[in-house]
Amino acid sequence: MIVLNDPPEISIALDSPSDCSVSAQVTFNGSASIPEQFDVEWSTGERSPRIENVQNGELVVMLVDEHSCLYSDTTLIENMSTLSYQLDTMSGSCSGDIPSSANIFVINDPSATVLWNDGSTELSRPELEPGHYQFTLTNDLGCSQIDSLTVSPIGNLDFDVSVTNANCNTQTSGSLEIFTDDPDLLFSIDGVSFTDQRTFESLDTGPLTVYVQNQQACLDSMAINIQHDDTFDSGLSTTITGQLNQALVINPEPIQEDIRWTWSSEDFELSCNDCPSPSLLVDKEGTVLVDLTNGICSTQEIIRIRISLGDEIYIPNVFHPNSTSGNDKFLVYPNASFDELDISIYDRWGNAVYNLNNIPVEDVSELGWDGTFNGNESMTGVYVFKAKVRRFVDNTEIEILGDFMLLR
């Protein structure tokens, strides 16, 4: 710092446009014109030579030139008719058992009155609905203060968070995924900007709070911690959907070959425990745990297996009883998510030539009409069928009416 023997005179000039506010002007040797080589810095954070609406308390101004020479002045502002108050708020519960409230305590002027943006004039608001509120405090001199608050009830919303730590290559490779059965929830990691996306990626290591809000503005949160450890990105999906009663390959395109895999599950029987791509039968929803290591970095993943209940049903339109290519019986073939099948087949005169009821779908491939009735070959022509397929897990029943051609 360079100190001059004859420093310029720096001072703060105050004026009061009203009883409610004070303005401050920095002067240089008695002039409001500040030389261009000086930057102005006020203790309020402002940088212009003149500032408005200065509050009670100590006020400092500094002038700094390009050589880091610094000159300053300090003054004390007091007895200005500013309103001093304390705002106490309490967030209520989503159930409504505990209401949200706000109380304004005016410290230095008992004459102050308040006007809220919803029309209320009460300093104490014991029951506030969720939303954004603004209020204006005014005293007898006409001095006013404007403030606002947002009311968000706190509740126990049903959600869970799965965290993926940053891997050993990139500190900002952390991510999180939120799981909930409530489709109307919104999510945020800063408590301000909410979105319906449930996955947040490229997160830095350290503590983080996940905020969840419903349509009634009820707010809940969960504190998590993203660690930076010796893990790497496995490339696995954290949720995989498969069709009920169908085989599912968990990791069809594994990452680099130098990975050692260790798979386990309490819900499914895996085809292998140390291979890159095990398969399983999706007969329920559950989880699969996998540990991966390349000898230096390691990670552990939980993969959630979800069920897709498709309604695909294959119905041939022609069959040949004497065929040698496998098309020698007629039947309706539901996908493996269905449990039972009923079917009746009729000739052109309405006579029932074939009937099955409550047949397990897994037995369908061994059954079917072979084109005979009472031991005699049925005639070539069009036949009509009526079928019902049932799935127990979601109480689905589908009825199908159609026809097909028998060829000889």
Q: Which domains occur in the chain, in start order? A: 10-77 (2.60.40), 85-151 (2.60.40), 160-226 (2.60.40), 239-308 (2.60.40.10), 313-406 (2.60.40)
Q: Residue written as tokens 């500032």?
A: 51
Query: CA–CA separation, 385 vs 356, rounded Å?
Result: 11
Query: For residue 123, what are the β-bridge partners?
Result: none
Query: 3-state DSSP call for residue 361?
Result: helix
CB atoms closer than 10 angstroms to residue 189: 17
Dig out the tokens for 146 from the structure: 């404007």
Look at residue 3 in the predicted model and tell me its pLDDT.
47
β-strand pairing of 396-406 with 318-319: parallel
Alpha carbons 232 and 234: distance in angstroms, whole number: 6
Residue with tokens 């895996």: 270
The CA distance from 14 to 6, in Å, is 25
What is the full DSSP assignment across 47-112?
A: -SSEE-SPPSEEEEEEEE-TT--EEEEEEEE-S-----EEEEEE--BTTSSS-EEEEEEESS-TT-
147, 199, 219, 282 from 192: Cα distances, Å: 18, 17, 11, 40
pLDDT of residue 171: 66
pLDDT value, residue 244: 79
Confidence at residue 1, expressed as pLDDT on a 0 to 100 scale? 44
Q: What is the rounded distance in angstroms from the CA atom of residue 275 to the CA atom of residue 254?
A: 10
Two tokens, residue 67: 């050589």
Sheet of 21-28: strand order equals 10-18, 21-28, 50-51
> 194 near 186, Cβ under 8 Å?
yes
* Residue 100, amino acid: S
60 bridge partner residues: 74
Q: What is the DSSP string of 278-340?
A: -EEE-SS-EEEEEEEE-SS-EEEEEEEEEEE----EE--SEE-TT-SSS--SB--EE-TT--E
The predicted structure's pLDDT at residue 55: 77
Is pTM beyond 0.75? Reply is: no
What is residue 255's predicted lDDT score, i.e. its pLDDT?
64
> Identity (one letter) of the amino acid at 375?
G
- Tokens 């029943």 correspond to 397
The set of residues, in sequence order, having a beta carbon less than 8 Å from that of 135 and lying 6+ positions away, is 104, 114, 115, 116, 117, 146, 147, 148
* CA–CA dist 108, 106 (Å, integer): 6
Q: What is the pLDDT along the chain (408 residues), one digit of tens a residue?
A: 444 457 889 999 988 766 677 889 999 999 989 999 999 999 999 999 999 888 778 999 999 988 888 999 999 887 666 778 899 998 887 766 788 899 999 987 888 999 999 999 999 999 988 888 999 999 887 788 889 998 877 777 889 999 998 876 566 888 999 999 989 899 999 988 999 999 999 998 889 999 999 887 788 899 999 987 665 667 788 889 888 788 899 887 776 667 889 999 999 999 999 998 899 998 888 999 999 887 767 788 899 998 877 788 999 999 999 887 778 899 999 988 888 999 999 999 999 999 999 999 988 888 999 999 998 999 999 999 999 999 888 888 999 999 999 998
Task: Provide the pLDDT for residue 287.
Answer: 94
Contact present, 193 and 259 (Cβ < 8 Å): no
User: Quick count: other Cβ atoms within 10 Å of Cβ 311?
Assistant: 12
Query: What count of other Cβ atoms lies within 10 Å of the Cβ of residue 216?
Result: 14
